[in-house]
Amino acid sequence: MGKTGLVSPVGPILRQWRVGNYLKKHTEALIKDVGFAAACELTGKSKATLGRYFSDAAEHGDRFMPIDAVAALENAAQFPHVTTALAELQGITLSYDNSKRNEGREGGVNTDVVALSQRFAMLMGEYHQSIADGVITINEAKRLLRETLEIQKVLLEMKLHLEDETAA
């Protein structure tokens, strides 16, 4: 509450903007994962319309991709970007199995540990490079986010391998 005893709308508005911005970034990642041409074909939307769904321009601030379009794109994507973002906003952790088609997963926990070590080294390399001048730019932050997403994928694969081993 402010000094007047009234609840300030700034907090909820700022939170709503951050949530919307967060969802738009993940929508952009989803579209780029699938590719613009394929995304247009799968959703029946134009490239311009798809671009509006992740635009941070004020006039597109309240435009979000319809859930049926998200579902179609995530089925074709390598990772459920928007679903994961929605879960994270609610404090939910998802266990993602990208095999989708009962494919056998190659390797095992040891392979996952090696992959995790490599990804973490890449993340630390990106971080070291990013902070060299004392400022992390937007592009550097995007690279760091990509690496953390890759680490998340490896961790989920490791979790699935561990679940397979404990079920046997």
Q: For the segment 75-102, what is each residue's pLDDT rounded down to a tens digit?
A: 999 889 999 889 888 888 776 655 544 3
| Whether residue 72 is found in the same domain as residue 140 | no
pLDDT for res 104: 52
CB 120 within 8 A of CB 147: no
| Whether residue 80 is found in the same domain as residue 103 | no
How far apart CA 6 and CA 160 sit, in angstroms, is 50
How many domains are there within the chain?
2
Report if residue 1 sits inside a domain.
Answer: no
Chain mean pLDDT for the chain: 84
As to burial, measured by CB atoms within 10 angstroms (0-12 exposed, 13-18 middle, 19+ buried), residue 50 is buried
**Residue where one domain finishes, among candidates 56, 73, 94:** 94
How far apart CA 112 and CA 155 sit, in angstroms, is 8
How far apart CA 168 and CA 163 sit, in angstroms, is 9
Query: Which amino acid appears at position 85 of this protein?
Result: A
CB 59 within 8 A of CB 51: no
How far apart CA 61 and CA 52 sit, in angstroms, is 9
pLDDT for res 20: 85
State both tokens at 73: 């794109």
Q: pLDDT tens digits for 5-49? A: 555 454 555 566 688 889 999 999 999 999 999 999 999 999 999
pLDDT for res 42: 97
**Residue where one domain finishes, among candidates 61, 94, 127:** 94
| Whether residue 90 is found in the same domain as residue 103 | no
* pTM exceeds 0.75, yes or no: no
* Residue 63 main-chain phi, psi, to 5 deg: -100, 125
How far apart CA 123 and CA 100 sit, in angstroms, is 28
